[in-house]
Structure 1
Amino acid sequence: MKALFKKWNDISLVKRIIVGLVIGIILGLTIPEQASIVSIFGKLFVSALKAVAPVLVLVLVINAIAGQKSGKKTNMKSILALYLLGTFSAGVVAAVMSYIFPTTLTLKDSATDVAPPSGVGQVLETLLFNVTTNPITAVADANYIGILAWAVVLGITLKKASETTKTVLQNISDAVSTVVQWVISLAPFGIMGLVFDTIASNGLSTLGEYGSLLLVLIGSMLIVTFVVNPLLVFIWARRNPYPLVFTSIKESGIYAFFTRSSAANIPVNMRLCEKLGLDKDTYSVSIPLGATINMEGAAITISVLSLAAAFTLGIEIDLMTAIILMVISAISAAGASGVAGGSLLLVPVACSILGISDDIAMQVVAIGFIIGVIQDSAETALNSSSDIVFTAAADYARERKEGLKDAHKEALNQ
């Protein structure tokens, strides 16, 4: 059995998901009357996601913040600013694209019990009460806002902890990530059940809405890759950004597209930074940190899927609520897991401020896994390549400033 499980995991997750997707469509078209048997795989998969997601958010965010190095002279302030601007800008692009091309989803459960927020005041009230929830209660009730708040506070306080404590945190984080990998390794079976249930209940027409959702996601990522990121590089470094952008896509993004793991792409990015002649003291910190907190693609996924859920439920979102949603998407994206599909588990964070229940949010997450063969690959490619783009931009900006200072001193001496 162990050998069989190893062989199963040796097969690419993308290939396994494609097989599960195809089998689900075939079974849904041929034996729709067996829904009670086949669809149980989808229900179990969603249930497993709901069980592991709260713990995942808490542990990963605590470890990411507590593990940040301090006292070492690097160019990290500029890079962190770019990471923040890039992630927030990605959320803005995703929101704009979602409003231009609104997408609705077919959800299995009735949503008549969802109470939309009456306005930004109610959203802020809900946000504040969720933030101050007891941490144990927050985890038990899947209150992701409370979980995120406690994770940030504990992460900051644990930055001064001993290295032994930080090692324990890292070990716990690794253990939780391993559990998530186990759950996600079962995604092909879950997707088979979910697709079967969808096809058996609604026919092939439902797949069209998945295509529309995927187009909004990929379109947003392309805009961020070729418009937003180059603009930020130009503003920061005052140089043509596209040679750097194309190099990062070619030597980092393509590899990340197939590995679907920012963590697995760290060695690739480190070698590329060395090849570009960047400061080692900086990129040795920024690249591993970026694999954890620089999540433009994750911000896009979280924003688009949560807004799709809102449109599906008929929830009207005003400007201030949309801004809050973008901020929450940017913050929660920083806690996205390094494993495939990790950002999908953070969609409930954004959904919770819109009054959308965890059950509904997890159905949206499940839909995300169905399109994840392409979505997650493109998301990881954007996340990983932007680590290079922003690290290099900050380094180029510093070189430019130092060059201007040297030129100014030389002019004064003359």
Structure 2
Amino acid sequence: MSAASPALLHRLKRISLVTQIIIGLIAGIALALLAPEVAKSTTLIGKLFVTALKAVAPILVFVLVMASIANHKVGQETHIRPILYLYLLGTFAAAVVAVVVSTMFPSNLVLTTHDVAISAPGGIGEVLQSLLLSVVDNPVSALMNANFIGILAWAIGMGVAIRHAGDTTREVLGDLSNGVTLIVRMVICFAPLGIFGLVASTLATSGFGALIGYVHLLAVLLGCMLFVALVMNPIIVFWKLRRNPYPLVWTCLRESGITAFFTRSSAANIPVNLELSKRLGLHEDTYSVSIPLGATINMAGAAITITVLTLAAVHTLGIAVDIPTAILLSVVAAICACGASGVAGGSLLLIPLACSLFGIPSEIAMQVVAVGFIIGVLQDSAETALNSSTDVLFTAAACLGEEQKNPA
């Protein structure tokens, strides 16, 4: 028995992380169907995994970005600017897709009165103000509250300052970065077990009964996200690389999208994306900045959610939408998506802002937000999978595209 155990562990180590996650997923579904009461008790396992990811993500981003900038050699190429262009293009394109699909397949909502105590922004100016305040947030507060915009700002500032320090200081910072990365890898090793707990407890507790009344709305939402993931994003990547984009697209969806689907947090999936970027052989100085930045501003899934739910409310109320207003909605949805927090349900709080374009009062808009939380089991999971996998996809596309232009 003692000899068999190490052999079993050795075999498990040889199985890819994605395969282990699929096994955990199947086991979680089976447990929820066969023993619901037992499955409910696995909630702690899932919470421990997600909490561990969320705990390590802020300090990882801070240390990794700071070390990357501090140890950056003068004259060394990075590709942040083309990645930013791809992030913004992808988010706006997703909003346009959502407008077109929502117009072709309009959704109706049953808007009833709900007392939902949620604080939502009152206008686009408030979103921009919030972003600026996040940049100048206290560094300790930013780390404690996972304010990634503030963390990035302080990491960049400290990294630039430490570039002028001695070699020993920069070496210590590099060693600290390697140490935090090692801890992240250890946390990621527990992904299959964490996803097993998340799936089992979610299915046993909630199930999908609450989703039956919103099948059409979910079909529009998920259809838009699938179209962006499998058609729009590959087109953008092909435009950048001029070669078959699907091997890279499938890799990002499989390696990043699956874990993001279950953690439902772009911020929590940052360590997974950093690890994938390393395995893809991307430039560390680039992806150590672009991945956490993408978790904040690359929000194609959020743009789709904001647009689809807003237009569902518009159609339900019989409000006419002309082309200029639809274009304006796409722009606003893209900007709002950049301001969505990297936590579960973050995009839903920005729906009232988009609804205000059509004169929809906040009382009705908050009912739409409530609908979003009802379907969040699937909507938010798919949204996060699209957002997070696209972070790696566009980072890889930009890095590989620049390498093609300037081969070593």
Deviation of residue 150 (structure 1)?
2.1
Deviation of residue 208 (structure 1)?
5.3
Instruction: Show the counterpart of 2:122.
Output: 143
Q: Contact conserved, 2:282 with 2:396, CA < 8 A, in 1?
A: yes
One-letter code aligned to 1:10 = L
Q: 1:166 to 1:236 in 2, by over 3 A?
A: farther
Identity within the alignment, %: 56
Q: Contact conserved, 1:217 with 1:301, CA < 8 A, in 2?
A: yes
Instruction: Show the counterpart of 2:260.
Output: 256
Instruction: Show the counterpart of 2:80.
Output: 76
One-letter code aligned to 1:145 = I
Q: 1:172 to 1:12 in 2, by over 3 A?
A: closer
Instruction: Show the counterpart of 1:348.
Output: 352
Deviation of residue 11 (structure 1)?
6.7
Tell me the alpha carbon deviations over residues 54-73 of structure 1, each in whole angstroms, 9 at most, x when there is no partner: xxxxxxxxxx9xx9999976
Instruction: Show the counterpart of 2:102.
Output: 98
Instruction: Show the counterpart of 2:288.
Output: 284
Q: Contact conserved, 1:303 with 1:325, CA < 8 A, in 2?
A: yes
Structure 1: 5+ residue stretches without partners: 1-6, 14-63, 111-138, 159-164, 177-187, 196-203, 407-414
Structure 2: 5+ residue stretches without partners: 1-40, 48-61, 149-201
Quick one: distance in 2 between partners of 1:285 and 1:81?
15
Quick one: distance in 1 between partners of 2:120 and 2:79?
40
Tell me the alpha carbon deviations over residues 189-243 of structure 1, each in whole angstroms, 9 at most, x when there is no partner: xx99xx9xxxxxxxx9x96551100000000000000100000001012121000
Q: 1:171 to 1:255 in 2, by over 3 A?
A: closer
Matched, 1:296 2:300: yes
Return the TM-score normalized by structure 1: 0.63
Quick one: distance in 1 between partners of 2:345 and 2:292?
19
Quick one: distance in 2 between partners of 1:140 and 1:238?
45
Query: What number of residue pairs does the alignment pair up?
Result: 288
Q: 1:305 to 1:319 in 2, by over 3 A?
A: same
Instruction: Show the counterpart of 2:365.
Output: 361
Return the TM-score normalized by structure 2: 0.64
1:350-389 matched pairs, under 5 angstroms = 350-389=354-393
Quick one: distance in 2 between partners of 1:175 and 1:246?
30
Instruction: Show the counterpart of 1:402.
Output: 406
Instruction: Show the counterpart of 1:181.
Output: none
One-letter code aligned to 2:222 = I
Quick one: distance in 1 between partners of 2:325 and 2:69?
35
Instruction: Show the counterpart of 2:44.
Output: 10
Quick one: distance in 2 between partners of 1:173 and 1:361?
27
Deviation of residue 149 (structure 1)?
3.2
Q: Contact conserved, 1:261 with 1:339, CA < 8 A, in 2?
A: yes
Deviation of residue 170 (structure 1)?
1.1
Quick one: distance in 1 between partners of 2:119 and 2:400?
46
Q: Contact conserved, 2:78 with 2:286, CA < 8 A, in 1?
A: yes
1:155-234 matched pairs, under 5 angstroms = 158=136, 166-168=138-140, 170-171=142-143, 173-174=145-146, 209-234=213-238
Deviation of residue 278 (structure 1)?
0.3
After superposing on structure 2, the runs of 4+ consecutive aligned residues of structure 1 that deviate more than 6 Å are 67-72
